Amino acid sequence: MKKTFSIGGVHPDDKKISAGCAIEVLPTPKKVYISMAQHLGGPAKATVAAGDKVKTGQVIGEPTGFISAFVHSSVTGTVKSVGLRKDLAGIPVIHVEIDVEDDEWMDGIDTTDTIVREIPQDTKFILDRIRNNGVVGLGGATFPTNVKLCPPPDKKADILILNGAECEPYLTSDYRIMLEKSEQIVIGAALMKHVLGVERVVIGIEENKPEAIAKMKEAVASLAAGTAGYSGIEVMTLKKKYPQGGEKQLIDAVTHRQVKSMGLPIDVGVVVQNVATSLAVYEAVQKNKPLIDNTITVTGECFPKQSNLLVRVGTPLSYIVDWLGGIPETAAKAVSGGPMMGKAIANMDAATLKGTSSILFLTEEQTKRKPETNCIRCGKCAEACPMGLEPFLLNKLAKNRMYDELEENAVQDCIECGCCLYSCPANIPLLDIIRIAKGDVIRIIRSRTAPKK
């Protein structure tokens, strides 16, 4: 029987209408805006100023703490400005604006297509390359990858899971890289396996991607047969169920281990990385290439040209969409990410980030909220919740601002998957209400546990 997680989940139509679109390279725009806040943790500090000449792959932002990351120029040109500019959510963030003049890459970056299979044995060399090339998690969290690969001394991983589930409807960028860059992804996995010192790597892919499963199995088999360092890597077919790609759900599906409330995967001996992160690790270590581009799905039934594009980080969304023919009149909303967990795009002039995975256009009909009615106590939201929460109860407690009770009922464990909202016949905006309450409760927990000054 195909594996899946044990609690809750829903089955939205997967709508992978861009799955057949091979990755195309988007021409470099005339101008890029590179954010210094592209990762979880402290924003990077810009190391360039207006008038500076930069090359492709040059450092333009340095980490500002342990949990932070380098940022590199994705183009060659002249820095026009360093200052505040609105991001996708409309929030002002420091960006480096660069006028693009050429595409001259920094010395030492291997820009050839040659695949480098031999795994370096020096783990410090691998970790330094990952850090220095600004690799962050591309599954949504953008946590600096070198930090995740160095668990604290009292915690030990025994398995690395690669997330190839891509369970959100519409998204196909991970699917395309699994088809087109399968070998590089497996090499990235072997590099991380070596750093972590684990014997086993499982690449979890949902059953609705049979071609990707076949390609990845083929890559695993050929690397294991020909080169040292590739034993213990397997592809696992998972049942199609949302949110299979949630970290805790994937760990449950693959290992049957349960991560406790407010716990981390490493607490149960697991490190999870996305397949796109594995590709970035391959490029960083084997090609010395910084994370300056990524594959983005542009899709939606109302969008005339379904696409998977390789885009330089810092490219304005409006440039991408104009290149594909412009925003159709029937589009009422643009979302970054999928329809379940994605965030509305407030500003089409915003630039792409390392972690941008899609631009999804939805019609008014698709975004219109049905009128809310009273809770009929059907329990469907609780049945659907993959974290075992009681969304109807959390909703009631949130409306009454009962923070102690919200914490007792583990609102802080909500992964904001939207399964409750998707299942509710009364159309109650459960996710919106619970998300705000979760933020408040986490702030209360942090203020309680913060060291006293």
Give me the residues that bind ligand SF4 (CB under 6 A), please: 375-381, 384-385, 387, 389, 391-392, 414-420, 423-426, 428, 430-431, 434
CB nearer ligand SF4, residue 19 or residue 428 = 428
Nearer to ligand SF4, 217 or 435 (CB): 435
For residue 243, cis peptide bond before it (omega within 30 degrees of 0): yes
Nearest to 444 by CA among 404, 400, 396: 404
> In the bound complex, what is the minimum distance in angstroms from residue 395's beta carbon to ligand SF4?
6
DSSP string computed for 292-334: -EEEEEEE-TT-SS-EEEEEETT-BHHHHHHHTT---TTEEEE
- From residue 171, how far is each of 146, 152, 211, 224, 308 by CA, in Å? 26, 34, 16, 30, 9
Q: What are phi and psi of 118, to 5 degrees?
A: -70, 130
Contact at 8 Å (CB) between 356 and 74?
no
Cα–chain center distance at 419: 19
Minimum CB–partner distance for residue 442 and ligand SF4 (Å)? 13
End-to-end alpha carbon distance in the chain: 54
Cβ closer to ligand SF4: 331 or 340? 340
Of 214 and 382, which CB lies nearer to ligand SF4 in the complex structure? Answer: 382
Distance between CA atoms of residues 139 and 19, nearest Å: 18
Residue nearer to ligand SF4 on the CB measure, 289 or 380: 380
CA distance 370 to 354: 35
CB of 417 to ligand SF4, least distance (A): 4
The least CB distance from residue 362 to ligand SF4, in Å, is 19
Q: Which is nearer to ligand SF4, 195 or 389 (CB)?
A: 389
